[in-house]
Structure 1
């Protein structure tokens, strides 16, 4: 897909009743109707215990292209920490080595087929993170050591290793040193490391033991392979007309290279422990709220620096993705501050975020940025105003159609065009699971609304999402597969069993054979090919004739 240039109008002003004109919000980049599918990389088919960037990913892209789906949405692709959540990463800039296609390293002579046998025995329908951890790193370390020992500078198709290190040195060196030291200190979080190592400086690398420097070089190799394979996959998707929507969490993990290197950006004490942490109050997902534990930003410091750290983070994200979904958008208006050490999120309070000034800085630095605001939850008028003033489309969830708020704002007939419609997200139960769990009186209302005719299939809900006035509609792959609740990827507020679900080659083949024509027909029927900008006026037919 040739990536469309956003239709950005020149900045205008509108006259108000006062003496000074008020700025008109910028035009949204979302000016065509298109469809997308949500599937995290970990969920893809693959032979080595977890989805990867190789053959299974390309087969999935082929399915999207055949259905004329224009976007593939994924969760964050960084290296995961505790709980294997892609929203708790060791780095906001690095890639997850688990996603490397190890088969390509066999072809490069760095691994043998026999060495991959333990990984091939892992389940195909879910990720067993315990066994994956035990077997994957042993194999990948062998490949790294063989590459380093050989003294070569490149793998075929991936470019120069040394050039990669120089190009990405700003984040790569702190990240690889962080990971190497973390292994050296038994996996403990960096605030517990000995003082000389608990703060990154450009001079730290020269003081590292030889074993730590070797481990740092291994992690640099992992990133070299990951980024090389990612660029190959992204180029393949672009050639097939598929753009990638990536996810940028608002917060980063405390135990990450980001906080270790940039302590001044966060509200930490002298030893690096958080003064307060992030989360959300009690809501639809949890009566105790959600205690995320991420450190909070020092927005005063960020404002004084022109939001330089954040702009660098977003610039790097747009180097990976065509569009980003900015997670927890409401935190830029007000965020939930929880005292450090609190047992749950109920004792938190709302604090003001940076507001429109932040998005003005983003627009000035990245004028072509295409951002979706994740504005879910109980959102008041101030958050809606901030999103509109920033010129960003928000999100609508069909599963929230009834019973979640007095205004029923998630009923499809209320959706504004400048929005993204979902049957559900990675945090929702599958659409079939949702339909099967409904109780009176909502079960009858929803059956009538979506014309289910006693069916519990997700496909009437999928059609409703595609038919909405939202200019982008995104469907989780579990819903395309019409799977029950046990295919849910993540259950917020819980810690067991999340991020494990995968689909198989056979399921993808069955989807392509049984459903691609229906999906392609609906994409065309509801003008979701993404080929024409939406206009607010009528035009004569393309053949030049008119009916009177």
Structure 2
């Protein structure tokens, strides 16, 4: 069992932190949040993927052009000043930002100017104490970093066209052509590498600070990668592509209770036969990279490590797909050799069959128990109901893909669901107190770890929903406003986790 002691944590993505720059970042407010987590007796800070996001894909952290790179939008301007790369005047925004939501387009424009200025000043000799660390960073990440930087710069060079639209010799990565264009665009490529260095430099500092306070990060790793990504361009053989580089098959999930046509995600699926031939080196490298960043790693869409839903390219819905087995046990065995502790959480929500459960049991991986799913007609037998929880599981009130507890109670739950929850918690519940009751049910669970979204700690409503799955607009925007998470809130939380043996 990877969680050795009863403990608790809070789910809050970095982008949702307060900051004067339009988006949460790795700067002062992240450290302040860590201080409050410590005061609240929390041992874990769960976040969403840290990979770069794009406006074109709805700013989703689950849809990135790199499985390895960090998101430059999370770089803190304040820490660039601390490192001597910029002065206060350089980071003053010439626009005002909304404290309640991320304005991605405005933020991207502002951060681009600030980060490019930091690179120019670094080239001019400022922040010279970082020189050695910059060289070491490039050496450490040479397996993915040059390809990523080239991909981003080449894509900009070709007017943001997908890599499949580039000239054939670059699309096909002919060595001479790639080196020639890379030489021509050398400064832009170095700048992208420098931005990655800044991101990881700041991340390591924050992680070290949190660890010093007894707080570990729970990270999140998507299963698939975008077709128009550095990974697919640089490793085309590990995906099912045709001679033009286009997917022959794509990902999704079959029709279910939530959708008559299933969900068509459209990312290329992996060519597991090719991956097997070199002992899954790309996957091992990816998981190792993430385990270095986080104390625990949640594997999103874990069921695809057992079998995945494959849909022929060109289909308009996911209806006509088929299940294809994955050599997940073989891959996870290699991960276990490298990381005997296996600090991994399996995201096992949705339609899960026995082979998935068997795979989790084989590697002793904890799954997820979401309380919002517990209070339907099947409450007595529900896997999600507290009386059916197991020790080796992580309990959530909800996740980033759910309503907040209050919004669920107000809008989504039926009258019968609300009554069942009131009966179960032995009190009359209202929209004002339902989050407190639900949080207590999570804390009193026998499961070793409870993680509660920040929105449910504060009892926020529909305005604080992070993501509505299968909608492409208006997601990933919510931010914690300054002054919402305070010392009195932290102290109240500490009493609760102490009461239920999670301190």
Does the residue aligned with 1:118 lie in a helix, a strand or coil?
coil
Verify: 1:296 aligned to 2:273, yes or no: no
CA pair 222-355 structure 1, distance change in 2 beyond 3 A: closer
User: In 1, are the aligned partners of 2:250 and 2:267 still within 8 Å (CA)?
Assistant: yes
Contact in 1 for aligned 2:170/2:178 (Cα 8 Å): no
1:41 maps to which residue?
A: 14
Q: Is residue 273 from structure 1 mapped to residue 285 from structure 2 by the alignment?
A: no
Q: Cα–Cα, structure 1 residues 335 and 112, in superposed 2: closer, same or farther, change >3 Å? A: same
Q: Tell me the residue number matched to 1:433.
A: 407
Report if the CA contact (8 A) 1:74-1:244 is conserved: yes
**Shift in alpha-carbon separation, 1:117–1:151, aligned structure 2, 3 A:** closer
- Listed one character per residue, the Cα deviations across residues 149-201 of structure 1 (whole Å, up to 9, x for unaligned) are x1567455x85222221221111100111111111111121111111211346
Deviation at 1:404, TM superposition (A): 8.0
Query: 1:526 and 2:500 equivalent?
Result: yes
Task: Please state how far the C-alpha of 1:391 moved relative to its aligned partner.
Answer: 1.3
Q: Return the alpha-carbon distance in structure 2 between the equivalents of residues 77 and 193 of structure 1.
A: 28
Local SS of the residue matching 2:185: helix
1:250–1:326 contact (8 Å) kept in structure 2: yes
SS in 2 for 1:84: coil
Aligned to 2:81: 106
Q: Which runs of 5+ in 1 are unaligned?
A: 1-27, 530-548
Report the Cα distance in structure 2 between the residues aligned to 1:256 and 1:404, rounded to whole angstroms: 43
- The answer to whether the aligner puts 1:419 opposite 2:396 as a matched pair is no
Q: In structure 1, what is the equivalent of residue 93 of structure 2?
A: 118
2:30 is equivalent to residue 66 of structure 1: no
Alpha-carbon contact 2:248-2:312 (below 8 Å) kept:
yes
What is the aligned partner in structure 2 of residue 8 from structure 1? Answer: none
Question: Is this contact kept in 1: 2:307–2:323, CA < 8 A?
Answer: yes
CA gap of 1:363–1:503, structure 2 versus 1, over 3 A, is: same
State the partner residue of 1:233.
Answer: 206
Task: Name which of structure 1's ranges 130-139 and 216-225 shifts more when overlaid on structure 2.
Answer: 130-139
- The residue number in structure 2 matching 1:370 is 343
Structure 2 residues without counterparts, runs of 5 or longer:
none
Which of residues 427, 448, 457 in structure 2 aligns to 1:480?
457
- Superposition TM-score, scaled by structure 2 size: 0.94
Partner residue in 2 for 1:93: 68
CA distance in 2, matches of 1:264, 1:479: 44
- Return the offset for 1:351: 1.4
Superposition deviation, residue 36 in structure 1: 1.1
Is the contact made by 1:333 and 1:355 (CA closer than 8 Å) also made in structure 2? yes
CA distance in 1, matches of 2:312, 2:291: 34
Structure 1 residue 140 displacement after superposition: 1.6
User: What SS does the corresponding residue of 2:446 show, helix, strand or coil?
Assistant: coil
C-alpha RMSD over aligned residues: 2.0
Partner of 1:455: 430
Q: CA deviation at 1:116?
A: 3.1
Q: Deviations over 1:50-76 (max 9, x none)?
A: 110011111111111111111101110
> Separation in 1 of the partners of 2:174 and 2:62?
26
Aligned to 1:325: 298
Q: 1:412 to 1:221 in 2, by over 3 A?
A: same
Q: Distance in 2 between matches of 1:528 and 1:498?
A: 32
- Of 438, 447, 454, the match for 1:470: 447
CA distance, structure 1, for counterparts of residue 94 and residue 218 of structure 2? 29
2:151 is the alignment partner of 1:174: no
Distance 1:63 1:420 in 2: 22
In terms of mean alpha carbon deviation, does 276-285 or 500-509 score higher? 276-285
* C-alpha distance in structure 2 between counterparts of 1:202 and 1:463, whole Å: 59
Q: Deviations over 1:237-278 (max 9, x none)?
A: 011110011111111111111111111111111121111111
Measure, in 1, the Cα distance between the counterparts of 2:45 and 2:27: 15
- Does the CA-based 8 Å contact 2:66-2:231 persist in structure 1? yes
Distance 1:116 1:249, change over 3 A: same
Q: Of Structure 1 and Structure 2, which has the larger fraction of its residues in helix?
A: 2
Aligned counterpart, 2:186? 213
The answer as to 2:463 corresponding to 1:490 is no
Q: 1:184-223 residue pairs with structure 2 within 5 A?
A: 184-200=157-173, 205-208=178-181, 212-223=185-196
Q: Structure 2: how far apart are the matches of 1:216 and 1:186?
A: 16
**Please, which of 372, 375, 384 is the counterpart of residue 399 of structure 1?**
372
TM-score in terms of structure 1 length: 0.87
CA distance in 1, matches of 2:458, 2:94: 26
- The answer to whether the 8 Å contact 2:28/2:78 transfers is no
Q: For residue 413 of structure 1, give the secondary structure of its aligned residue in structure 2.
A: helix
Q: CA deviation at 1:342?
A: 2.1
Distance change in 2, residues 1:159/1:70 (3 Å) = farther
SS in structure 2 opposite 1:518?
A: helix
